[in-house]
Structure 1
Amino acid sequence: MTFMLQIYCKNKNLSKEFEEGTSLFEIYQGFDLNMPYGPVSARVNNKVEDLNFKVYYNKDVEFLDITSASGMRTYVRSLCFILTKAVSELYPNGNILLEHPVSKGYFCKLCIDRTIGLDDVIRIKQRMQEIIKADLPFIRHEKHTDEIIRLFKERGMDDKVKLLETSGQLYSCYQQLGDTIDSYYGSLVPSTGYIRLFDIVKYYDGLLLRIPNRKNPDKLEEVVKQEKMLDVFQEYHRWNEILGISTVGDLNQACNRGMATDLINVSEALQEKKIVRIADEITNRNENGQRVKLVLISGPSSSGKTTFSKRLSIQLMTNGLRPYPISLDDYFVNREDTPLDENGQHDFESLYALDLPFFEAQLKALLAGEEVELPRFNFNIGKREPSGKKLRIDDNMILILEGIHALNPALTPNIPAANKYKIYVSALTTILLDNHNYIPTTDNRLLRRIIRDYKYRSHSAEATINRWPSVRAGEEKWIFPYQEYADAMFNSALIFELAVLKDHVEPVLRKVPNNSPAYSEAHRLLRFLSHFVPVQDEELPPTSLLREFLGGSSFVY
């Protein structure tokens, strides 16, 4: 007897009946959808599944293409598998590490015991194109974890073995592409022929895997030069090597051996050492008799800018300087003059929500040695008013300005460069899940923000997740274009961080209801966190950047 299911397609706002056991791809065809860039995966009752997933109960289904964040993740995972297969075939004794996103692509380290050349890049790209043309299926296997561990051990894939051995899972999954096996922690496209557009180019001492632009998938993302960002990633990879930890499996094993306290102490010390170096450079910089009088600190949401600025101020004080914080919020234009966004709402993220001429006039006066009365913005009435605070900069004083626009050249166009020191702060996750699975740096910041919003702003994880795309859009417009202008970049991520955040954020994520659009992202984050052995936060020092989000900081915010 054939059982019929009711499937509601969100793309068409329409329900249809299908036989029990029908695949998502067959359902896509049954709804006669025509998605020019997809589908690549689908949300099934707000959980992302691959198109081979078979349905046995009534479901809500939304098909995704690469213009969505989730669809793009599916596309990139599949492309990464094709790359690792090509490398394994061309260099049987070599390996490739998919390290981190940079320059609108993904930086990969090809380990073949020699310097890579352009001929290597050409061979890899050609083999990837052949694999795509062959339209090989991605096959998913679910087996007992011990069986998969034996399989990976036979192939010398120790990074995956460590992760599985510390997962605590009875059953696990791996994927197969031809005679190549690997593991990817999320959906893949049905077959290699789904990959329409990519490129791979030589990039410094590695490779850059290029992907389509989400807004215009017929074109590749432009390569944006990010030398400083790459340097920071590579510096922190060297730190990881000092600690002997490159992957989450390494981290889990170290924590299980009782090394969590040592990891915390060494990681915090390495971070403090970096802050000391930045403070010393600020103190000692002297160009044509002019010293730094203004430190500008920028970075995206939940990057830890506030705690960083406080720790930097302490180090500047040990160098004999007197830091004085200036808040950009006090320089907002009156509310009725605030620019509007495309939805007709006040755009407080815009640079032009600030009174730029007034701000620059006050800065120039201060740097010239004049006394000014600082403003105060009254958020209750939406107007700027006098604060009664008067300020004059003396020889030992240095202004600290922290805000999302701090590195934008339009904020301080006429302030002499010799008087400014620009710092970009972000949480740049450098640990890998395993050699072929990077951790998105935005996940690190999103988890921080979910915890902070829940603890201190009475916002649910659902509300934070729903707002995150607009936060990211503001960052793309107002922050990321100026990060390479920085004199110094500071990575606020800590190697043990996600293991500490785990116990704090999981209960909050579990409160997101299944019928919410945010459930898909909450479910993905919970699956991601399941790979970590939890670490308690008792050993965190009160000055740790994580205290800004978890509580218990010795700083006043």
Structure 2
Amino acid sequence: MRITATQAIDIIHHYYVNHMKQVVQIRCKNNKKTEKVAIGSTLSEVFSQFNLTMPFGPICAKVNNKVEGMHYRVYHSKDVEFLDMHAPSASRNYTRTLFFVLCKAVHDLYPKSMVVIDIPVSNGYYVNLQIGHAVEAEDAERIRNRMQEIIDAKMPVKRFEVPAEQAIKMFRDRGDEAKAKLLESAGKLYTTYYEIDDYVDFYYGSLLTNTRGLYLFGLEKYYDGLLLRIPSLDNPAELPDMIRQDKMFEIFKEHHRWQEILGVRTVGDFNEAVATGHATDLINVSEALQEKKISRIADEIARREGVKLVLLAGPSSSGKTTTCKRLSVQLLANGIKPLQISLDDYFVDRDETPKDATGEYDYESIYALDLALINAQFNALFHGEEVELPKYNFQTGKRERSGKRLKMGHHHVLVVEGIHALNPELTAQVPEQQKFRVYASALTTILLDDHNYIPTTDNRLLRRIVRDYKYRGVRAGDTIRRWPSVRAGENKWIFPYQENADAVFNTAMLFELAVLKTQAEPLLEQVPETAPEYSEAYRLLKFLKYIRPIGNRDLPPTSLLREFLGGSSFKY
């Protein structure tokens, strides 16, 4: 009789427990205690032995700095740190399990349906449903109720490890071609899949061990689909407020339409296209679509009468600088001469700079800028006056006279790029009709498969890892360590104002993860296992293994990715 790898592991486990009576040592980082546990114990069993109290967990654990699900069995001595819903890794685990329950619920109610976990938006996840009719509020209620029934039934989430060809055949037989393509192109000998009752699915990260761990979620009709909401990282007892992100949502939908035309909707589709020699075509079309979008934004600015100020904002590694330069070229093509000003020169003196909660100078605060001077000089320029631009000396922490004078003519427009560019307070005294706002962000639209989306923040983090090392000599581990504070600043100063934009520009490209992979992987592999950042480096490496790499030689010198990879024709 043929048995699966998972069944073999269970047999070995029971043999060790019942016959060998062997134990291993577990050092728990949560309470700094060490316990001997039976070899082959699951993390759930280990957690019980340590008698820990964790109101929002445990969801998963770091085992020797690798994040593992509570299914994981220990066969050697390990360092273990259990994670609750305050940890991003645990939140991802919870979210994947919620995706699984959602997909099962839809399958139970609409057997011939198709579910696509599409994009993070409005503090939730947009779910694209094909259930034979337009999605109504009643459908959302039925699905929500069925999900709750599955959760209340406390169904085990079973994990299986099988030969890849077996999983590929199983998913193909069930009509899930996207999943079959992904696993086929990954080139792995073995893979895992999960099962709830009789419903199976694949997720590239770990899941909860039982549906009873899903204590809170929201589901409601959203546009033509659903919005799935998950507990907040800051307060896991609550769902975050739903915010409207109509402009962001439309950009995602626009890119999905392009991908449907190209026939490349998932990573499996992408890998297949690369394997058949179409990598250059994907690069050329992606670059052309992006340039066309920038050209349209420039055309819109030119059509608007009275625009004197173009404000461009975006989060870290969104490609703001290159977007600004390419937009300036397109403005020139419209007969408009852009004049660029750096907000960095408008910092207040260091002794006037606000401080953060730790007592450090908070240079990301909008109040680190001299708002009065910004508004006064901008309005003077718009009235045809000549001004002397300031210059900030970062060594002395003082603003100095630059001697650089500026005056705007009839065909000039001021272009300002910075994290606060969309904040109304930055230019509160400038008339609205004189402003045009652009928001740039790397909104990853390609999916791993229908139930595994790619976080947009991962795209930006990979860009930053490559750029920081190439231009600043900063190692991947250091970039990963600083990333949470960067994200916190974005949440406070950038994301709340993104819907203020007159135009939204997606800087992510269909092919870019395949290009970034070639430079990011060696840097991520250098993060030592002993470092706290190893778990994040390992997660990114694991995710990148599903993507077939391509070189960057076919990228044009004006490509936005050149800002991170090098070889750009623009000066930075």
State TM-score, norm by structure 2: 0.96
Residue 95 of structure 1 pairs with residue 114 of structure 2: yes
Match of 2:128 in 1: 109
**Which of the numbers 379, 387, 390 marks the counterpart of 2:402?**
387
Match of 2:155 in 1: 136
373-382 vs 426-435, which deviates more?
373-382
Residue 475 of structure 1 pairs with residue 490 of structure 2: yes
Residue 328 of structure 1 pairs with residue 347 of structure 2: no
SS at match of 2:553: coil
CA distance in 1, matches of 2:22, 2:475: 39
Letter of the 1:170 counterpart:
L
Residue 408 of structure 1 pairs with residue 427 of structure 2: no
467-476 vs 328-337, which deviates more?
328-337
SS at match of 2:508: coil
**Which of the numbers 267, 270, 280 marks the counterpart of 2:299?**
280
Deviations 1:272-314 (A, max 9, x none): 110010000001101xxxx111100000000000000000000
Letter of the 2:211 counterpart:
T
Letter of the 2:374 counterpart:
F
Deviations 1:325-367 (A, max 9, x none): 1000000011121111101111111111111111111111111
**Which of the numbers 510, 517, 526 marks the counterpart of 2:541?**
526
Match of 2:561 in 1: 546
CA distance in 2, matches of 1:540, 1:273: 16
Letter of the 2:38 counterpart:
E
CA distance in 1, matches of 2:111, 2:411: 61
Match of 2:283 in 1: 264
| TM-superposed deviation, 1:510 | 0.2
| TM-superposed deviation, 1:504 | 0.7
Match of 2:523 in 1: 508
CA distance in 1, matches of 2:263, 2:118: 16
Letter of the 2:538 counterpart:
H
Letter of the 1:396 counterpart:
H
Deviations 1:507-526 (A, max 9, x none): 00000000101000000000
Residue 435 of structure 1 pairs with residue 459 of structure 2: no
Match of 1:217 in 2: 236
Residue 64 of structure 1 pairs with residue 64 of structure 2: no
Match of 1:182 in 2: 201
CA distance in 1, matches of 2:51, 2:132: 51
**Which of the numbers 297, 308, 324 marks the counterpart of 1:309?**
324
SS at match of 1:373: strand
CA distance in 2, matches of 1:138, 1:367: 63
Match of 1:161 in 2: 180
Residue 446 of structure 1 pairs with residue 491 of structure 2: no
* Map 1:486-501 → 2, pairs under 5 A: 486-501=501-516
SS at match of 2:446: coil
Residue 204 of structure 1 pairs with residue 219 of structure 2: no
Deviations 1:425-461 (A, max 9, x none): 0000000000001100000000000000010011000
Letter of the 1:383 counterpart:
K
| TM-superposed deviation, 1:236 | 0.6
Letter of the 1:150 counterpart:
K
| TM-superposed deviation, 1:4 | 2.2
SS at match of 1:33: coil
CA distance in 2, matches of 1:147, 1:29: 35
| TM-superposed deviation, 1:48 | 0.6
User: Runs of 5+ in structure 2 lacking a partner?
Assistant: 1-19
Residue 231 of structure 1 pairs with residue 250 of structure 2: yes
Letter of the 1:3 counterpart:
Q
Match of 2:31 in 1: 12
Letter of the 1:543 counterpart:
T
SS at match of 1:166: helix
Match of 1:295 in 2: 310
CA distance in 2, matches of 1:206, 1:2: 53
| TM-superposed deviation, 1:8 | 0.9
CA distance in 1, matches of 2:36, 2:237: 34
User: Runs of 5+ in structure 1 lacking a partner?
Assistant: none
CA distance in 1, matches of 2:34, 2:383: 70
Residue 353 of structure 1 pairs with residue 372 of structure 2: no
Contact 2:71–2:159 (Cα < 8 Å) also in 1: no
| TM-superposed deviation, 1:539 | 0.5
CA distance in 1, matches of 2:233, 2:329: 43
State TM-score, norm by structure 1: 0.99
* Map 1:413-428 → 2, pairs under 5 A: 413-428=428-443
Contact 2:29–2:81 (Cα < 8 Å) also in 1: yes
CA distance in 2, matches of 1:104, 1:50: 25
SS at match of 2:356: coil
Deviations 1:502-548 (A, max 9, x none): 11100000000001010000000000000001011111000001000
Letter of the 1:256 counterpart:
A
CA distance in 2, matches of 1:293, 1:330: 20
**CA RMSD of the aligned region, Å?**
0.7
SS at match of 1:99: strand
**Which of the numbers 76, 92, 97 marks the counterpart of 1:78?**
97
Match of 1:342 in 2: 357
**Which of the numbers 445, 448, 455 marks the counterpart of 2:470?**
455
CA distance in 2, matches of 1:359, 1:432: 42
Deviations 1:396-423 (A, max 9, x none): 1111100000000110011011110000
**Which of the numbers 191, 207, 210 marks the counterpart of 1:191?**
210
Identity %: 58
| TM-superposed deviation, 1:322 | 0.8
**Which of the numbers 45, 58, 76 marks the counterpart of 1:26?**
45
Match of 1:43 in 2: 62
